[in-house]
């Protein structure tokens, strides 16, 4: 089945919206009406602005899936995200029922789409978080390093989409979202050579450090995991920068799409706990996770079926 746009480029601009639901019975009607209208809304915007690269992904938290679609089976790895607590750092868990990831080359296009979504859902939902992201320089994180370097290329769909192992949900995906705030003052005091050891790559050329140069707790070392047969396991990231300079807030919105959430979970455990324990990601000394939620992203066909139901 055709996936939603989970392998798209992060885009020039992005809006992430997380809604909470309080009454699933009351909300079921507006959500299904939105599911029926959303494809036409996106098509209309694409026709009006064919060069905008508009993309919309919609997902559901575990409680929302069970409450909105009680007649549906449950995806194998869908559950409420549980916090990951290491000796020094914690991947916090925060609430979320409905999730939207909007991308485009022009911010006004996704502002319009976000306004339609919010209007259609109305007072049946409450806003938990809305974050506006932007492309920083040449696709770098706001800390100055190229982001998404480890993304698979030709095999992106293979890693991002659920396969035949969960046949009711083939073509779907799991989206893990986290907001990280960076201590830019402390980060900028680090010499470039030290920053490179934290990330595991050269800052200006993006070349990976050699095994001799790279510390065991470098970011790209702890997030490099392998399966039982030694094959590297990957996720598809669509991370993007966000900022509020007047508040002194500079951050990265992490979103990882994967066909198995266990892969993302293992990466986070390596980052926050360490493997072995204590070897946690050094980047977390300068970046703090302030949110964390897991969502199921149905295939495009399943979204249509849910609207029809």
How is residue 197 written in tokens?
């050891």
DSSP state at residue 285 = G
Distances (CA, A) of 135 to 108, 123, 132, 229: 15, 32, 11, 37
Distance between terminal CA atoms of the chain?
18
Spatial distance between the Cα atoms of 131 and 16, rounded to a whole number of angstroms: 5
DSSP state at residue 183 = -
Contact call for residues 272 and 92 (beta carbons, < 8 A): no
Spatial distance between the Cα atoms of 216 and 197, rounded to a whole number of angstroms: 10
* Phi, psi for residue 38 in degrees, rounded to 5: -60, -45
Q: 281 an active-site residue?
A: no
Contact call for residues 58 and 121 (beta carbons, < 8 A): no
- Look at the chain and count its residues: 309
Choosing from 147, 168, 206, 275, the catalytic residue is 147
How is residue 61 written in tokens?
């938290």
Residues labelled as active-site residues: 147
């Amino acid at each position: 089945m055709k996936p939603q746009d989970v392998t798209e480029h992060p885009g020039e601009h992005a809006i992430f919206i997380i809604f909470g639901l309080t009454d699933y019975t009351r909300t079921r009607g507006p959500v299904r009406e939105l599911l029926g209208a959303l494809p036409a809304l996106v098509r209309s915007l694409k026709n009006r602005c064919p060069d905008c690269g508009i993309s919309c992904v919609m997902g559901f938290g575990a409680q929302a899936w069970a409450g909105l679609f009680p007649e549906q089976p449950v995806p194998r790895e869908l559950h409420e995200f549980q916090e990951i607590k290491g000796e020094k750092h914690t991947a916090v868990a925060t609430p979320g029922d409905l999730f939207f990831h909007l991308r485009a080359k022009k911010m006004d296009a996704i502002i319009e789409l976000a306004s339609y979504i919010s209007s259609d859902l109305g007072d049946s939902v409450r806003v938990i978080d809305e974050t506006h992201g932007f492309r920083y320089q040449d696709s770098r994180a706001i800390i100055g390093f190229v982001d998404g370097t480890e993304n698979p290329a030709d095999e992106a769909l293979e890693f991002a989409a659920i396969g035949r192992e969960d046949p009711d949900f083939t073509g779907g995906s799991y989206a893990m979202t986290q907001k990280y705030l960076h201590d830019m003052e402390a980060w900028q005091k680090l010499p470039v050579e030290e920053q490179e050891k934290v990330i595991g790559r050269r800052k200006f050329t993006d070349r990976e450090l050699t095994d001799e140069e790279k510390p065991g707790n470098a970011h790209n070392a702890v997030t490099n995991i392998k399966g039982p047969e030694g094959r590297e396991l990957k996720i598809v990231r669509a991370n993007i920068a966000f900022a509020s300079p007047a508040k002194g807030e500079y951050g990265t919105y992490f979103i990882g799409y994967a066909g198995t959430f266990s892969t993302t979970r293992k990466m986070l455990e390596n980052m926050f706990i360490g493997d072995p324990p204590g070897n946690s990601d050094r980047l977390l000394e300068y970046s703090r996770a302030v949110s964390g939620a897991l969502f199921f992203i149905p295939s495009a066909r399943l979204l249509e079926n849910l609207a029809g139901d």
